[in-house]
């Protein structure tokens, strides 16, 4: 059965995949392998994961649309974060007031 033959199912992550143009069809399977692979997703997306695990993840993604959605969402999140402009520095007087207000004034340098 191809992905196009499967019935789409409502899923909390389906919106992200549909927004990216990915057809979503969630099918039941043993999610233990999903849980096992989730531990390695950050390294996979960063390109630092061992090649044998990359092959395992890619094979699993070919069979599991949920994991495809999770990886696509993680990749997009990392991409958006990396494309962000650096935050402007916080003025020293604002920083000092914030630390005092949060009862962190012991951590202020030069106090």
Which structure tokens are listed for 48?
A: 């630092």
Provide the whole-model pTM. 0.52
- Arithmetic mean of pLDDT, 24-30: 55
Determine the pLDDT at residue 38: 83
Q: Rounded distance, CA 68 to CA 73, Å? A: 8
Is it the case that residue 14 has pLDDT exceeding 60?
A: no
Where do the structural domains in the chain lie, given as residue ranges? Answer: 3-107
Determine the pLDDT at residue 16: 47
Percent of the chain past pLDDT 90, that is, above it, reads 30
- Arithmetic mean of pLDDT, 51-67: 89
Segment 60-91, tens digit of pLDDT = 888 888 889 999 999 999 999 999 999 899 99
Which of 31, 56, 30, 33 has its CA nearest to residue 44?
A: 56
């Amino acid at each position: 059965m191809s992905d196009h033959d499967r019935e789409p199912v409502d899923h909390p992550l389906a919106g992200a995949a549909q927004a990216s143009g990915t057809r979503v069809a969630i099918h039941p399977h043993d999610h233990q392998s999903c849980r096992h692979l989730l531990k390695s997703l950050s390294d996979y997306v960063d390109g630092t994961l061992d090649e044998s695990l990359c092959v395992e993840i890619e094979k699993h993604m070919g069979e599991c649309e949920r994991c495809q959605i999770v990886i696509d969402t993680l990749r997009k999140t990392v991409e958006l974060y990396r494309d962000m402009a650096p935050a402007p520095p916080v003025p020293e007087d604002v920083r000092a007031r914030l630390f005092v207000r949060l009862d962190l004034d012991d951590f202020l340098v030069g106090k």
